[in-house]
Structure 1
Amino acid sequence: MTGPLVVPGDRLPDNAFQPVRPAYGSASLAEVLPSASAVLGVPGAADTLGLRERLDGVDRIAVLLVDGLGAYQLPVMHPYTPVLNELVTGSRTVTTGFPSTTPVSLVTVGTGAPPGAHGVLGFTTRRPDGRLLNHVHWNDDPDPAAWQPVPTRFELAEAAGVRATQVVRPEFEGSGLTVAAYRGAAFRSASEGAELADQMLEALAAGPSLVYGYHADLDKTGHLYGVDSRYWRMAAQGVDRLVDRLVHGLPPRSALLVIADHGQLNVPVESRYDMADDPALSDGVVTVAGEPRVRYLHAEPGATDDLIAAWRSVMGGDAWVMTRDEIIDGGWFGPVPAGHRSRVGDVVIVCQNRAVALASGWEPPPVGRLIAYHGSVTAAEMTVPLLIARA
């Protein structure tokens, strides 16, 4: 993308910018697969979300995760998504974990555990050797089973005799993130919406099972063109066609859950703070991780206090600027074992309002030219739907 950024309005209400805490243990993404597993009879799984009341008699469940389908996006999509609109009636919401970003949420869903426990704590995090790990572009270094040690809910389902299947794009087979989030589930590939629906339905038809599918187009389009742009509306229509195909193809005794990993919000040019514009924002920084809405700064010894003061001076009310201990002790990740603490920066910038903290020179230039972002603690980013359909 070249030329000036065109940022459309995303029609978010004022309350979309209120901070929301992750509802670990009661109503977060970490409770979705355990609750579904309980309905399917997996021993030890707790139905914290109360799904059994809606799903009595169901012995096969499909979970579709639509990347970027935040609860605050549903009203914006309403004119283009008649099938989703029907599912919204009587639905509920859950929260993401923190940060509200794709790899964190996918592993939270797959493990049924808060981020602090599974250790995938950002889009990018610093490794013990000082190198940066991008959780989306991750192969086998570090070993996903060691970096993310929590058993997945698919492994537990298979051990209990419930068939588990994942349906994702073919290029994701065997990736570090796929192994960390979905290990234990049989792999099926699907490149587009109709194929995704057909593969999920075929897996459901084979017998009692837990089937998971992932759809990325809405999030990608929001990043590139903005929520409620013309292209985003087209992607929303694609989501509706996918859900329509699933709902009307469900075999007997089956149900569909539709969830998301986060919402999105559009960021105007004037709300973009860049480390490259002020040397004080990077003095003493050795590694920049996280992403624009939640930035992790790893600092040289003795540089933390000056960095905090500089960032607070520049961003003011557009960010919470915290130490590692403050953000962890505040419970945002859930309990964090000692081995995972260093994955969080010495300084953590949690953007508020519509602000982002860019890192030109530290990360690829296209990151600073996106239109919609996510990752922080606002309701728009943290609140996602839980939609239910039965055969």
Structure 2
Amino acid sequence: MIHPAWPDQEEPAPLALDSAPVPQYGRGSLADLLPTLAAGQGVTGMTAAIAELTPADRNCVFLIDGLGWEQLAAHPDEAPFLTSLMGSSRGGTGLPITAGFPATTATSLASVGTGLPPAKHGLPGYTARNPETGELMNQLRWKPWTSPRVWQPYPTVFQLADEAGVHTAQVSSPAFEETPLTKIALSGGTFHGRLSAEDRMDLAAEQLAAGDRSLVYTYYSELDGKGHRFGVDSDAWRGQLMYVDRLVQRLVEQLPPRTALYVTADHGMIDIPFDEQSRIDFDEDWELRAGVALLGGEGRARHVYAVPGAESDVLTVWREVLGEQFWVASRDEAIEAGWFGRPDELDERVYGRIGDVVAAAHDDVVITASVNEPNESAMAGMHGSMTPAEQLVPLLEVRS
């Protein structure tokens, strides 16, 4: 096949790494949300990094998986209540913040719960190499098994708030209660499992009222699933957005006094056409495979682990082949550019989990792996990179 990265010119111009819109760690990212709220509740060691937020005695974070700022803004008819919050018409704050890199669920939920960037919490993608074993680890499904507390040793903001006397709770699906990701990112206080999303809204309101100072987290996943399967402009996705809009309104109507509710998300999403120009199949591309031992990450945010000694050659080839459509960086370049957090925040244990080469999509294109990742390769909607459609998530505030 002819590679879509090669236009009709002699020398393709690769994207400059300094053109990548790096997440706003330390002032406007998901990792800054809970520390800002907990600081306002008097939890020691927390920093109020998001200047637009003012303290509240009771705080609730409702995270809607896959609800990007741009997707919400494009669908006002399906989400009139949420759209009204974007304009701060209810006296709160409506602004976009950045998810973090990569913009994917495991990384983002770890950033939310720990209040740390990926460089420190150490979940740098959908899949990442375990330097101790040399295997790819799926950090969402936690396969193959590794000790959760070894993989992510830092306490969560929920744990620190609970120790400080804040009534702390998570309200989510019962299926998530015992998962390793919940244990290392979203634990602290009490977990309350409810199958019905309406029941979760009701119980979240009850948990908020249970303390003079409360920190409550609740979560909804189905919007993301519809986006992956059918795309973010499909009837199925729009129907889910309408439902989510009603859920938020249901929760708002039950907020106890002195509460701030924050509606946010873990990432946005874009639809990728099903054609060879938009979907580059790593498993069928000899150039991209040359010198590669493992392919990690996901279609729009790839960690590439080279055969020892081939790191420089792999970087050169990936830049030559993909450099007009992807930001392609070496591990050290990505770290120094702040893709995963401030360079001085990088934990030593995290360094080898990051690819020798890191490729983040700029255009509407993905690197699939049809043989090794058949399910992921078949998705209509995808995410992971630093484009606004993936990176910007809402931070919508309602106060009672």
Do Structure 1 and Structure 2 share a fold, with TM-score over 0.5? yes
Match of 1:4 in 2: none
Amino acid at match of 2:95: R
Of 330-339 and 308-317, deviating more is: 308-317
Provide Cα deviations, 1:24-63, integer angstroms capped at 9, x if missing partner: 111111111011112222223222223553x5xx321110
Indicate if the aligned counterparts of 2:138 and 2:144 stay in contact, CA closer than 8 A. no
Q: Report SS of the residue matched to 2:309.
A: coil
Q: Which of 226, 229, 238 is residue 224 of structure 1 equivalent to? A: 229
Structure with more helix by fraction: 1
Q: Which of 209, 212, 216 is residue 211 of structure 1 equivalent to? A: 216
Provide Cα deviations, 1:4-39, integer angstroms capped at 9, x if missing partner: xxxxxxxxxxxxxx8421111111111110111122
Distance 1:23 1:41 in 2: 24
Q: Does 1:265 align with 2:270?
A: yes
Specify whether residues 140 and 373 from structure 1 end up closer, same or farther in structure 2 by C-alpha distance, changes over 3 A only: closer
Match of 1:43 in 2: 44
Superposed, 1:271-286 pairs within 5 Å as 271-286=278-293
Provide Cα deviations, 1:134-186, integer angstroms capped at 9, x if missing partner: 11112793221221122110011011000111112111112111111112231
Distance 2:320 2:311 in 1: 14
Match of 1:370 in 2: 379
Distance 1:45 1:142 in 2: 29
Match of 2:71 in 1: 73
Q: How many residues align?
A: 370
Q: Which of 237, 242, 245 is residue 237 of structure 1 equivalent to? A: 242
Segments of structure 1 that go 5 or more residues without pairing to the other structure are: 1-17
Superposed, 1:137-156 pairs within 5 Å as 137-138=141-142, 141-156=145-160
Of 221-230 and 279-288, deviating more is: 279-288
Q: Report SS of the residue matched to 2:45.
A: coil
Match of 1:201 in 2: 205
Indicate if the aligned counterparts of 1:39 and 1:51 stay in contact, CA closer than 8 A. no
Superposed, 1:61-100 pairs within 5 Å as 61-90=59-88, 91-100=94-103
Q: Report SS of the residue matched to 2:324.
A: helix
Match of 1:157 in 2: 161
Distance 2:44 2:336 in 1: 32
Please list every run of at least 4 consecutive aligned residues from structure 1 whose deviation after the TM superposition is greater than 3 angstroms. 50-53
Specify whether residues 134 and 185 from structure 1 end up closer, same or farther in structure 2 by C-alpha distance, changes over 3 A only: farther
Distance 1:62 1:144 in 2: 26
Match of 1:388 in 2: 397
Deviation at 1:251, TM superposition (A): 1.3
Indicate if the aligned counterparts of 1:139 and 1:175 stay in contact, CA closer than 8 A. no
Match of 2:189 in 1: 185
Q: Does 1:352 align with 2:357?
A: no
Indicate if the aligned counterparts of 1:318 and 1:355 stay in contact, CA closer than 8 A. yes
Amino acid at match of 1:191: L
Q: Report SS of the residue matched to 2:251.
A: helix
Indicate if the aligned counterparts of 2:227 and 2:380 stay in contact, CA closer than 8 A. yes
Indicate if the aligned counterparts of 2:95 and 2:396 stay in contact, CA closer than 8 A. yes
TM-score (norm 1): 0.91
Amino acid at match of 1:160: A
Provide Cα deviations, 1:313-351, integer angstroms capped at 9, x if missing partner: 332411122211111121111131221100011121211
Amino acid at match of 1:306: D
Distance 1:98 1:179 in 2: 22
Q: Report SS of the residue matched to 1:252.
A: coil
**Identity in percent:** 44
Deviation at 1:372, TM superposition (A): 1.0
Specify whether residues 351 and 139 from structure 1 end up closer, same or farther in structure 2 by C-alpha distance, changes over 3 A only: closer
Q: Does 1:379 align with 2:382?
A: no
Segments of structure 2 that go 5 or more residues without pairing to the other structure are: 1-18, 89-93
Q: Report SS of the residue matched to 1:65.
A: strand
Amino acid at match of 2:135: R
Deviation at 1:190, TM superposition (A): 2.3
Specify whether residues 162 and 86 from structure 1 end up closer, same or farther in structure 2 by C-alpha distance, changes over 3 A only: same
Deviation at 1:278, TM superposition (A): 1.6
Q: Does 1:112 align with 2:115?
A: yes
Q: Report SS of the residue matched to 2:73.
A: helix
Amino acid at match of 2:267: H
Indicate if the aligned counterparts of 1:139 and 1:176 stay in contact, CA closer than 8 A. no
Provide Cα deviations, 1:290-335, integer angstroms capped at 9, x if missing partner: 1111111211122223322332333241112221111112111113
Indicate if the aligned counterparts of 1:167 and 1:200 stay in contact, CA closer than 8 A. yes
TM-score (norm 2): 0.89
Q: Report SS of the residue matched to 1:64.
A: strand
Indicate if the aligned counterparts of 1:70 and 1:260 stay in contact, CA closer than 8 A. yes
Deviation at 1:360, TM superposition (A): 2.3
Q: Report SS of the residue matched to 1:79.
A: coil
Provide Cα deviations, 1:106-147, integer angstroms capped at 9, x if missing partner: 010101111101101101111120122111112793221221
Q: Report SS of the residue matched to 2:296.
A: strand
Distance 2:38 2:52 in 1: 10
Indicate if the aligned counterparts of 2:298 and 2:384 stay in contact, CA closer than 8 A. yes
Indicate if the aligned counterparts of 1:35 and 1:51 stay in contact, CA closer than 8 A. no
